[in-house]
Chain A
Amino acid sequence: MATAIEEDFKNEVLRLAGEEVRTCIQCGTCSASCPTAHLMKPSIRRLVKLCLEGRREEALHNETLWLCTSCLLCTVRCPRGIRPKMVVSALKELADREKIESPGKNYDHLFNKQIEEYGRISELPLIGEFLLFYPQGTVQSMKVGLELLPRGKITLEREQVMGKDEVKRIMEELGK
Chain B
Amino acid sequence: MNRALVEQFAALHVAGDTAGIAALLAPSAVMQTTLSALDATGAREVEELLATTLQLWGDRHETVVAVLADAESGGVESTVRGTTAAGALTEVGVVTALGLADGQITSIRVYCDTTPFRA
Bound together? no
Contact residues of A with B, CB < 8 Å?
Answer: none
